Structure 1
Amino acid sequence: MAYKITLTPSGHSFDAPADETLLNAADQAGFKLPYGCSAGACGACKAKVVAGEVDHGSSQEHALPADERAAGMALMCCAKPLSDLTVEVREVGALSGIPVKKLPCRVQKMERVAPDVMLLQLKLPASEPLQFLAGQYLEFIRPDGSRRAFSIANAPHRNEFVELHVRLVAGGEFTTQVFETMKEKDILRIEAPLGSFFLREDSARPIILLAGGTGFAPIKGLVEHSLHKGYTRPIHLYWGARDKAGLYMDALARRWADEHPHIQYVPVLSDATADDAWDGRTGLVHQAVLEDFADLSGHEVYACGAPAMIDAARQDFAARGLPEDAFFADSFTFATH
């Protein structure tokens, strides 16, 4: 059985089978909705069901708390229709026309930029260039069919390769493979581009970029794209890490700030050691933003990192006036198997 789904405010509508998620059904109908992990964990695809009923499926509590569920919110990547629906959601027109491809790639370069961070460069087939938006991600398709997602760290004008920043996760099978057995010239398989984390170029609002750890990867892509396009919207980049080694491209970020007056860079360490000899900002990176901005109502925020950081930033920034539609996030979820 299929139900009629109407999107508001666009007025677009499509049919969705009862056993299909709303995100997949919309995509098959040619309508692009915001999304991130596609596993009910990040909250990027959250939307309001204005009329009708859904099965929430595997939505996770931290991404869709009980009070939000009771208020009619749902995660489009998990929710399936139980009736005709009207859903209030922002469509993402910029994703239209960008094909998602499954491609082989070759490991071109491996560089350990921190004790637990590996920079990978993947060479793509010359006959199949990859079109993507800065900030999107890819998934490795492993031989057993399982997948691992990593943000693309370069801007799309440099699409002869794809750059990734892979952090070693304790007990993580894939990241252990990257650090222990992977070698240059290995052939891997990917699907890309994925996700709706990208720069909204039709806005003139000042930008706050919030990165935690290797959440710097898509943020780097956003900055490089912005510079390539010649945009001069004020950018305030906050990068948080446990220790100084975690700021594995600190020199690059400082160079951006030195060379471009519209870019400010604030590194923040949460667990600096004596060896770090750190005299900069300390604590939680999103708290540093709160210390610097009493009113966020005129800004846009692009946040990337651990779910706890994303959730705290979303809540605390909203309390400072940040509009709900001005917070864009890429929440990292980690798989060990």
Structure 2
Amino acid sequence: MGNLSHLLQESWTVVAEQQEKLAGYFYARIFLSNPHLRDLFPVQMDVQRARLLGAIVTAVRTLDAPEQLDVYLRGLGRDHRKFEVAPEQYAVVGDALLESLRIFGGERWTPEFDQAWRDAYGLIAQKMIDAAEADADTNPPYWVAEVLSHERRGRDVAVLTALPGRKLEYRPGQYVSVECPAHQPRLWRVYSIANAPRRDHTLEFHVRALSTGWVSGMMVRRVRPGDLLRLAAPMGSMTMDRDSTRDIVFVAGSTGLAPIKALLEELTRYNRTRWVHLFFGGGTREDLYDLPELRAIAARHPWVSLVPACSRDAGFEGEHGDVSEIVGRYGPWDRHDFYVAGSSGMVRATLRTLAALNVPADRIRYDAFGAVQ
């Protein structure tokens, strides 16, 4: 895999500066050669344009980590069942990808680069197809869930509870793609499930409305109890390592709290030996929308230590500054497992802090959410 990975990384530098144009050409080739596939995608393609291409690039960048790649591709294959993708359609995508790379690679694109991408995509596609076929034996392409409650937590945050018509199996820390066909058909966005599995099978989602987010704004401002959501297969590997005996540090930024809260809820059901330190940060106290419940959890479980923080709220009675910096004021952390969730910027800053503290990378699990949700 080493030489293949090297060729892929080297070849991507040839087209990276043109990736937005490449993505546009990529989808145009798919739709021109197979117009019926257009119905699988949203009317507004501005957000979607880079998603499929981004998933492929993410996969090729993890070729040197076989276990991580396998988990990612299995999840991706299961997730794509929501589009009811047929195996032969993977070849259509592969042809469009290779043609796009050749066009934008120009004279710098070599036969070696071409073969490397052909081999890598073949591996990716086959793993996704195998995962989708295996999943079809036990699960539907997507779950339909009814919104039971919708609670606004401030100006731009909502907490939703939904009940799938069929039990959805997942692990705390995972996320699902969500669509609301009544309001934004064919627009799917990923949201973490904010609770550990419950006996009543309900799922909780924490959503922040972003200025550029078609789906997030709809989920916060328009969704009401009784609305139906579609949920794709669970994905993500930021799950609890039950074999570890190390104490735990959770670092959550705003609605990045969702997967952290699910992990914390899981721990409350069995943990007796591991100390948990939870750092919850936001710009203002309004961003700490779930702080009362977190304080209640900490009061019930003495092994939970809660540190709330605000970076732009001078009157806040707690820590002041970015949560990524504040975690560095505590410690030492050399014998802890870390779970980090929030915006991509917050996660990157936290990883830099942990690297400076010499926390081993294999003890850090994280989910970084992009600018548009």
What is the TM-score when the length of structure 1 is the normalising length?
A: 0.69
1:164 counterpart residue number: 205
Using the TM superposition, give the Cα deviation of residue 230 of structure 1 relative to its aligned residue in structure 2, in angstroms: 3.2
1:134 aligns with 2:175: no
Q: Which runs of 5+ in 2 are unaligned?
A: 6-52, 77-96, 98-116, 124-133
Question: Which residue does the alignment assign to 1:42?
Answer: none
Q: Which has the higher helix share?
A: 2
Specify whether residues 199 and 137 from structure 1 end up closer, same or farther in structure 2 by C-alpha distance, changes over 3 A only.
same
Quick one: which of 136, 146, 157 aligns to 1:117?
157
Q: Which residue of 2 aligns with 1:279?
A: 317
Deviations 1:61-112 (A, max 9, x none): xxxxxxxxxxxxxxxxxx8745999xxxxxxxxxx99968511111111011
Aligned equivalents of 1:189 and 1:84: distance in 2? Answer: 29
Structure 1 residue runs of 4+, over 3 Å off? 19-26, 29-32, 34-38, 79-85, 96-101, 141-144
Given residue 112 of structure 1, which amino acid in structure 2 is its aligned partner? R
Task: Output the amino acid matched with 1:306.
Answer: S
- The question of whether the paired residues in 2 share the 8 Å contact of 1:270 and 1:284 is answered with yes
Structure 2: distance between partners of 1:196 and 1:286: 21
> 1:107 and 1:296 mapped to 2: Cα distance?
40
State the distance in 1 between where 2:121 and 2:198 align: 44
TM-score by length of 2: 0.63
Aligned residue identity for 1:211: A
- 2:329 corresponds in structure 1 to 291
Are 2:346 and 1:309 aligned?
Answer: yes
Task: Say whether residues 1:223 and 2:260 are aligned partners.
Answer: no
**Structure 1 residues 249 and 232: alpha-carbon distance in aligned structure 2, compared to 1, 3 A threshold:** farther
Compute the displacement of 1:223 (Å): 0.6
Partner of 1:264: 305
Q: Which blocks of at least 5 consecutive residues in structure 1 are unaligned?
A: 7-18, 39-56, 58-78, 86-95
Give matches, 1:205-220, under 5 Å.
205-220=246-261
Higher strand share: 1
Question: What is the alpha-carbon distance in structure 2 between the residues aligned to residue 168 and residue 210 of structure 1?
Answer: 21
The reply on whether 1:252 has 2:293 as its aligned counterpart is yes
SS in 1 for 2:241: coil
Alignment of 1:182-221 (within 5 A): 182-221=223-262
Equivalent residues, number: 264
Counterpart amino acid of residue 209 in structure 1 = F
For residues 231-262 of structure 1, give each alpha carbon's deviation from its aligned partner in whole angstroms, at most 9, with x where no partner exists: 43110000001111111111111122222221
Instruction: Choose which of 231, 238, 261 in structure 1 pairs with 2:279.
Output: 238
Q: Does structure 1 conserve the Cα–Cα contact (< 8 Å) formed by 2:207 and 2:220?
A: no
Residue 43 (structure 1) aligns with? none
Partner Cα separation in structure 1 for residue 154 and residue 213 of structure 2: 17
Distance 2:328 2:72 in 1: 26
Paired with 2:215 and 2:193, the residues of 1 have a C-alpha distance of 17
Is the 2:212–2:372 contact (alpha carbons within 8 Å) kept by the matching residues of 1?
Answer: no
**One-letter amino acid matched to 1:114:** G
Compared with structure 1, are the counterparts of its residues 215 and 31 closer, same or farther at alpha carbon in structure 2 (3 Å cutoff)? closer
Aligned CA distance change for structure 1 residues 279 and 139 (closer, same or farther; 3 Å) = same
How far apart, CA to CA, are the structure 1 residues paired with 2:320 and 2:250?
A: 17
2:143 corresponds to: 103
User: Structure 1 residues 205 and 80 mapped into 2: Cα distance closer, same or farther (>3 Å)?
Assistant: farther
Equivalent residue letter for 2:157: V
The CA deviation string for residues 38-71 of structure 1, in whole angstroms up to 9 with x for no partner, is 7xxxxxxxxxxxxxxxxxx9xxxxxxxxxxxxxx
Instruction: Please say if residues 237 and 264 of structure 1, whose CA atoms lie closer than 8 Å, have aligned partners that are also in contact.
Output: yes
For 2:339 and 2:140, the matched residues in 1 are separated by: 23
Distance between the aligned counterparts of 2:305 and 2:227, measured in 1? 38
Deviations 1:295-332 (A, max 9, x none): 43211110000111111211220221211111100111
Aligned match of 2:28: none
Query: More deviation in 327-336 or 160-169?
Result: 327-336
What residue in structure 1 maps to residue 192 of structure 2? 151
Going from structure 1 to structure 2, the CA distance change for 1:158 and 1:240 (only over 3 Å counts) comes to farther
Percent identity (aligned): 29
Moved more, 191-200 or 236-245: 191-200
Instruction: Sort the Cα spacing of 1:231 and 1:100 in 2 relative to 1 into closer, same or farther, 3 A.
Output: farther
Question: 1:36 touches 1:197 (CA, 8 Å); kept in 2?
Answer: no
Q: Aligned partners of 1:35 and 1:137: how far apart in 2?
A: 15
CA contact (8 A) 1:133 1:155 kept: yes
State the shift of 1:178 in Å: 2.1
CA contact (8 A) 2:283 2:310 kept: yes
Q: How big is the shift at 1:34?
A: 5.1
